[in-house]
Structure 1
């Protein structure tokens, strides 16, 4: 019989097994696969394990790593928010009411008229002039001077609190020391009535009656001056149309256009 091939005296000796480093120790790799899978997987692929063992170790360690991430406790705030309260009953969620969208006119501020009565016009002048307002004297027989900033405001229009855009501001002023009237456009200086002359003494009657002169007879001119026409119809009826200034019976009510000739038509 022939001896087996491996026992041939000239067969080469098998190669010695490779040296194992300290980081390739199975116990270290397994421990890292459990505690810190990424490092364990990296060392497993540098170890002397078979390829199938490396694949199995990688899959198992990866599943273990993903499972540990999924089983981590949620943040404390989330757990408190999701934890039901034993004493408080769940209240129904209110239905949100749609808020109307404000229009541009609602969001814009409308300037209002401040209270100007009693103050000097110098403080009221900015808002009056800015809105094309005017200032007048409270007394209609008093004129405003060139400078009236120290005059006091007696009346204002519009009233305090009203929108300035609703009306043009108007103020009525009085000079310092002069009281305000009861209403605008009042007369301050009333005309002084002229003194009535005393009646003339009556003449005492004399013993002799006064001589009465005879009344003169009315002349033709006096008769013509007494002519009076009520209207142009009467003038036409008398045949005096058109009647001119200086003619008997001419009057201003008959000459409407004032040219000196009445009842022309």
Structure 2
């Protein structure tokens, strides 16, 4: 089946342009003009991708994203989300990313660029590691690639699709230092147009969900001036 993209914007002309360009590429396009309508349509259609305007007339896009990520059905809460904002300040972009957005674009934008980025994001729905083991086991952490599940101290934790891919990229190579650029290439999977600090925002979210203290990490360590590495201890081993 063709991927479903939900376009959420209160400006009809923007919805019309995106519908035309996305439809020409084979996507099924749904539309919503308000945040409340968007949440209803997410529940109804289970879109693969949501293009979500920040400045909606009822509830803003960041609150819509918070509610979306809190939905009980993983098929809906895990939808990829690209925030769309008319405000160019970096803080506005990162607010959305901090609550689980996968990407952002600022107005005015090129519809062709948006389509290219949507296609690239959806391509990474496949696991990061094609020959991943059945389970990665570390002290206090299990990562299950096939089920796309993460357990911390035996309890399931709710990672978004992108957060799971980011953690998997690190877990695949314990001890290896990845730069932000390398993680963007490996996880985002395309030439990212924004700030590399998008990686920092998502690392912070992953750490919070893993209850991992950045000052004394069990799992993800910051390598200053470079990037990040996974420092979890393999199950059955002791920390050196």
TM-score (norm 2): 0.16
Higher alpha-carbon Rg: 1
Greater share of residues in helix = 2
Greater share of residues in strand = 2
Q: Which structure is richer in relative contact order (CA contacts within 8 A, separation 6 or more)? A: 2
